[in-house]
């Protein structure tokens, strides 16, 4: 395997280096599980999402960049910045020291809030913010890297949107925290940007702030996590495979599901303990020493995929009207499954932190498995019904869940209509709304971004700067990304 990685076409030097490091990590024995938990692991019902046999860092680290800019860093020999140039320079330096499962930062800050106090001249600010965004795109080169803007209108926010639309780059991913404080013209500018290059997505601040308080961030795909903490680990339950093991609905709900949830909680608990106790991550991290992260602000992420397939299998739903996304019987079963998982996960007491549900986006090699609680591609109902069903399924996902809606290119002429759709979705309880124009080169695959042209480049055996081109190539085939139902701005 190592020799194959050494000469694998389509990988840059850094991508090859990370792949080799993962091979080294996986060369040791995995964390031992109980016999019953191992049974679920062996059947692919639970998994560790490729975090490695020896997790030596949390999956997602979400530093408090506001604190960093206020205090500087003794370890990095950085004084508190006084100018925008110094602030941008300080952030660029810190980004290279943020660990994650990808080896790259998955969160680079609430950028408009961070940079706005330093702006004196907007022309200078535009040049410096472009330098920051370009540096991130060229060095992080992974669209699991995420920044946030909003909810308030700022000069920095408008500069970021203008540059994002012009640069047309997949990194960083971006979310707009949307609330009653977000002016319509700022939201519509964000929508115009999103229809051009698939970002920013819109975040229902009312829901997430009620769960996490005001100091949370959207990171990686659409993961909601506390600032100054992050995600210890992301376990994944494949509900499709669980449904295939069930003899009946009662067998699923009363026996298999509780056992599978217990197995995944056990796996996550042991992995978190390994990070804290065996690898002593916080004892060795200057981020913890300088108060940029705290152990009690990290959460365990209990991920789900394949709800649609699980429900359809258990109900033997073949006709369109019987299937997940269109049937009340299917929706009711899905809610019983979700309520059971949520209650058991929240009642579980891990050794460190707490566990919360996360709607996992899938992996590029998934076949016949729909991400999180989404309706399968090709089976989407009309937009109002799609939104209502999706919002109903997103109730318990405090660590993030999302849905995607491609619009016809003509939607760019009517951003107000798209904003009205987003508001309607949020009023029904949808947490996260992603959208893009069906003719855009830069599109959203599941939660991350990729350029169609980069995927084509990768398929020709040529290296692509953004590491997600390889993931996008598989996802185009396996997840039918390009087959999503295209909407128009009047809600059809």
- pLDDT tens figures, 199-214: 999 999 999 999 999 9
- pLDDT-derived band at 491 (thresholds 50, 70, 90) equals low
pTM confidence score: 0.94
The per-residue pLDDT for 115 is 98
pLDDT value of residue 187? 98
117, 339, 463 from 332: Cα distances, Å: 49, 10, 46
Long-range contacts of 415-422 (CB under 8 A, 24+ apart): 415/188, 415/191, 415/192, 415/195, 416/184, 416/188, 417/489, 417/490, 417/491, 418/191, 418/195, 418/489, 419/184, 419/187, 419/188, 419/191, 421/383, 421/387, 421/489, 421/491, 422/178, 422/191, 422/202
pLDDT band at 488 (very low <50, low <70, confident <90, very high): confident
Q: Is the model's pLDDT at 403 over the cut of 70?
A: yes
Mean pLDDT lowest for which of 188-192, 230-234, 359-363, 388-392? 359-363
What's the rounded Cα separation, in Å, for the pair 443 and 170? Answer: 8
For the ranges 23-27, 296-300, 346-350, 472-476, the lowest mean pLDDT is seen at 472-476
Nearest CA-CA partner of 326 in 262, 376, 282: 376
459 alpha-carbon distance from chain centroid: 25
Total Cβ atoms within 10 A of residue 180: 7
**Omega within 30 of 0 (cis) for the link into 476:** no
- Rg of the chain over all Cα atoms, to the nearest angstrom: 22
Distance from chain centroid for Cα 9: 27
Q: What angle do the packed helices 328-347 and 257-273 form, to 10 degrees?
A: 40
Task: Convert the pLDDT of each residue in 455-478 to its tens digit.
Answer: 888 888 887 777 677 777 777 777
Mean pLDDT of the chain: 94
- Can you tell me the mean pLDDT for 165-181? 96
């Amino acid at each position: 395997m190592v020799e194959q990685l050494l000469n694998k076409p389509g990988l840059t030097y850094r991508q090859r280096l990370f792949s080799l490091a993962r091979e080294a990590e996986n060369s040791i024995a995995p964390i031992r599980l109980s016999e019953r938990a191992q049974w679920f692991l062996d059947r692919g019902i639970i998994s560790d999402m490729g975090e490695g046999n020896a997790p030596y860092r949390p999956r997602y680290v979400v530093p408090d960049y506001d604190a960093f800019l206020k205090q500087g860093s003794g370890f990095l020999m950085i004084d508190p910045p006084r100018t925008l140039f110094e602030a941008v320079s300080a952030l660029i330096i810190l980004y290279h020291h943020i660990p994650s499962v990808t080896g790259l930062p998955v969160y680079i800050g609430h950028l408009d809030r961070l940079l706005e106090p330093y702006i004196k001249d907007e022309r200078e600010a535009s040049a410096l913010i472009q330098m920051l965004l370009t540096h991130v795109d060229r060095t992080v080169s992974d669209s699991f890297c995420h920044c946030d803007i909003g909810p308030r209108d700022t000069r920095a926010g408008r500069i970021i949107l203008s540059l994002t639309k012009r640069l047309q780059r997949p990194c960083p991913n971006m979310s707009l925290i949307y609330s009653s404080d977000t002016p319509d013209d700022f939201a519509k500018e964000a929508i115009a940007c999103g229809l051009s290059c698939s970002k920013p997505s819109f975040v229902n601040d009312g829901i997430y702030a009620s769960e996490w308080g005001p100091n949370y961030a959207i990171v990686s795909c659409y993961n909601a996590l506390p600032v100054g903490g992050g995600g210890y680990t992301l376990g994944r339950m494949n509900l499709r495979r669980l449904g295939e093991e069930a003899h009946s609905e009662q067998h699923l709900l009363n026996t298999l599901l509780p056992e599978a949830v217990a197995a995944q909680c056990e796996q996550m608990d042991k992995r978190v303990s390994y990070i804290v106790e065996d690898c002593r991550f916080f004892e060795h991290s200057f981020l913890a020493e300088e108060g940029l992260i705290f152990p009690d602000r990290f959460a365990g992420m209990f991920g789900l995929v394949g709800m649609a397939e699980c429900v359809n299998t258990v109900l033997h739903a073949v006709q369109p009207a019987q299937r997940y996304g269109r049937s009340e019987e299917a929706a009711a079963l899905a809610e019983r499954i979700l309520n059971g998982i949520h209650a058991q996960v929240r009642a579980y007491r891990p050794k460190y932190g707490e566990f919360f549900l996360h709607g996992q986006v899938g992996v590029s090699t998934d076949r016949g498995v729909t991400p999180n609680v989404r309706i399968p591609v090709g089976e989407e109902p009309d937009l109002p019904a799609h939104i209502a069903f999706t919002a109903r399924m997103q109730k318990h996902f405090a660590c993030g869940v999302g849905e995607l809606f491609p619009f016809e290119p003509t939607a760019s002429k009517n951003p107000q209509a798209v904003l009205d759709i987003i508001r309607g979705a949020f009023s029904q309880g949808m947490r996260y709304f992603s959208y893009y124009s069906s003719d855009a080169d830069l599109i959203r695959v599941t939660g991350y971004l990729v350029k169609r042209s980069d995927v084509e480049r990768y398929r020709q055996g040529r290296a692509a700067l953004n590491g997600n081109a390889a993931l996008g190539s598989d996802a185009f085939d396996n997840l039918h990304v390009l087959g999503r139902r295209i909407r128009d701005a009047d809600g059809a």
